[in-house]
Amino acid sequence: MPRGVKIERPVPAESVEPLQASTVVILHPGSTLMWLGRATDYLPQSIPHVIAWRKPPQCNVDIPDQTLLVRDGLDHPDSETQKELALSVIEQAIWSRKASPGSRKHQTTVSQVAAFNAKIEAEHHRDEESSIKWTDTSSAPPVVAGEAALYIHPDEPYSLHWPMKGGHLNLHSGPGGSLTAVCADLEALWAYAIQTCLTIPLRDLGYYRAVLVVPDSLDKNHIKEMMNILLCKLGFSSVIIHQESVSSVFGCGLSAACVVDVGDEKTSICCVEDGLVIPSSRLWLQYGGRDISRAFFWLLRRVNFPFKECDSNNRLDVLLLHELKETFCHLSQDIVGGQVHEFQVHRPFETPRSYQLKIGDEAIEAPMGMFFPQLFGIVGENLVYTKDPQYDDPEDLCDDKYLLESQRGQDQSSKQSSGSKIGPSTETVPDAEQNMTTTMRTGNKEMKFVSEKSLGLDQAILHSINSCPPEETKRKMYSSVLLIGGGFMFNGAAAALQSRLQAKLPQSHRKLVDQVEVIARPKEMDPRTICWKGGAVLSILDSAQELWISQREWISIGVRVLRERSPFIWTICN
């Protein structure tokens, strides 16, 4: 079939049937957790988005464990120096802020905290048993999914696979890193979650519909594979695909917002208006909640963390560090530092241990790394991305590659026919290439934005909003900054972010300083479930009924139907 031929779509049988919300399943997969539930559920359920496969007897290859606090760029010689310099800047920023009554924050010295923690020893609870147990694999199950996979003994012949990483499918050159292998992980993991959490037999999925909420940064070729899993492998009758940012706006009942989604491994920022993402506003930061956990551990070790055996290469220790971060870290100036806390360490077949822990400004310094990402010590990596990967699919008649080639051909033809003199190149640059370098106006000056530069969260938000063309849209976004995701759920995070945005507001918008508002918990909802809630709301809207893609359509037309049915721009070129 030649390119450009209009597709005549068959009318799906499901479109004439009344929608029953109880038969609609909303799936929101992430790098660490997957949220799922029926559209009629008030809250979704969640499971760790991980699966463990039993290794063949002859396989001795170990796959790096994504649970651990490791990433590229941390072994650079300048990493420690960068962290120390960032910490000194953060300390000054904390000291300069004032608490609510107007007095400056009381500062607890590092030496005082370290001296206290150095004297602490573990207290063993010999009459108690640990609440953590290793997963029983005595029956040699071929696959273990969800939370049970995290507690498989390290000596057992299993390898952990995390199908998603940093807002993308977790493709890599090692075993299990091919697209086929990752899709097999997703199929097995989603099937397990649907059967276990929702108690829906897989044989009945032909009577159900699915709404899949995907990261804004997800490769469109990978969306195609996910659609194939849901419709052809699992057997849902029809599916809607939607982006996290737009779903979150639906979930909050807003018409427009600058969506700031801080996840475990990445942070995505974009402006949404009237149900569509403004393409020029999209921005992805390659750091998130996991990096805060690593920074918090680094800070705790500087003050003699009493749990000396804690190892960032041990899965159970990493889970403990995440828990300590979520329990003790904050961004509130009203919380007095230097308090003594207590935490317990549970290990399978060991008696629980209790530790006292004194924490000074470390609890506020770690999350401040989101504004000063140099604290994370990542050297030599691009931490900021501003454009999608190019979409190229041989099954799609109008993919990006074809449109770009067609556009260049038309430009060349128009130049030759105009008969103008040959001079400096005036060829039209595609939007994807223009997005690589943009400018941001601050006062009377223009700041050149380079994608390789490390931006703090507040700077990135200002850049995203200032990339929106109309002034009216910018005013809307300043007054509605929606903070979602599980990576920045700290006491005082919204207030700290709002204060920094107000202080750095461009001179041309200083009159809007009092209108700047960061919304962290709209309608008292959990920031981690807002995207899922938006998918549930979307599925029952009358205006969304034409977006359903049936199994029959997918089999007969394939990926091309997504161009007409996806509620977001499918290609980067128009």
Place of tokens 């979409």: 391
Alpha carbon separation from 124 to 118, 299, 310, 411 (Å, rounded): 18, 25, 16, 76
Phi-psi region of 275 (alpha: psi -120 to 50; beta: other; left: phi over 0): left
pTM metric for this prediction: 0.86
H, E, C per residue of 446-468:
EEEEECCCCCCHHHHHHHHHHCC
- Residue ranges of E strands in 76-147: 123-124, 143-145
User: What pLDDT, on a 0 to 100 scale, did the predictor assign at position 412?
Assistant: 57
Torsion of CA 565, 243, 466, 90, to 10 degrees: -170
Q: Can you give the pLDDT at residue 424? A: 31
CA distances 211 to 181, 208, 241, 522, Å, are 23, 10, 6, 22
CA distance 570 to 574: 10
Residue 557: φ, ψ to 5°: -110, -35
Residue 478, judged by CB atoms within 10 A of its CB (0-12, 13-18, 19+), counts as buried
Rounded CA separation 27/30 (Å) = 10
**Residue the block writes with tokens 């949220």:** 35
Which contacts qualify for 12-20: CB closer than 8 Å, 24 or more apart? 12/238, 12/548, 12/549, 12/550, 12/552, 12/553, 13/550, 13/552, 14/209, 14/237, 14/238, 14/548, 14/550, 15/545, 15/546, 15/548, 19/209, 19/539, 19/540, 19/545
3-class state of residue 384 by DSSP: strand
- Can you tell me whether residue 160 is helix, strand or coil? strand
For residue 127, what pLDDT is reported? 73
pLDDT, position 408:
53
Nearest in space to 250 (alpha carbons), one of 552, 546, 537, 556? 537
Question: Residue 391's pLDDT is what?
Answer: 66
Q: What is the pLDDT of residue 286?
A: 93
| Beta-carbon-side half-sphere exposure of residue 574 (alpha carbons within 13 Å) | 5
Of 73, 118, 460, the C-alpha closest to 281 is 460
Q: What is the dihedral of CA 288, 293, 294, 296, to 10 degrees?
A: 120
Which domains, from first to last, does the chain contain? 21-66+133-244+528-565 (3.30.420.40), 77-95+106-131+289-381 (3.90.640.10)
Q: How far is CA 2 from CA 237, 390, 485, 571, in A?
A: 30, 22, 44, 19
Joined tokens for residue 195: 């059967």
Note down pLDDT in tens along the chain; length 574 residues. 333 333 343 344 444 466 888 999 999 999 999 999 999 999 999 999 999 999 888 777 777 778 888 887 788 888 999 999 999 999 998 887 766 665 555 667 899 999 999 999 999 887 777 788 999 999 999 999 999 999 999 889 999 999 999 889 999 888 889 999 999 999 999 999 999 999 999 999 999 999 999 999 888 889 999 999 999 999 999 999 999 999 999 899 898 999 999 999 999 999 999 889 998 999 999 999 999 999 999 999 999 999 999 999 899 999 999 999 999 999 998 888 888 999 999 998 888 999 999 999 999 999 999 999 999 999 888 888 887 666 666 666 565 555 555 555 555 555 454 443 333 333 333 333 333 344 444 333 333 333 345 799 999 999 999 999 888 999 999 999 999 999 999 999 999 999 999 999 988 888 889 999 999 988 889 999 999 999 999 888 888 888 999 999 999 988 888 888 887 776 544 3
Q: What is the pLDDT of residue 367?
A: 97
Give the burial string for 434-462 (b: 16+ CB within 10 Å, else e).
ebeebebebeeeebebebeebbbbbbbbb
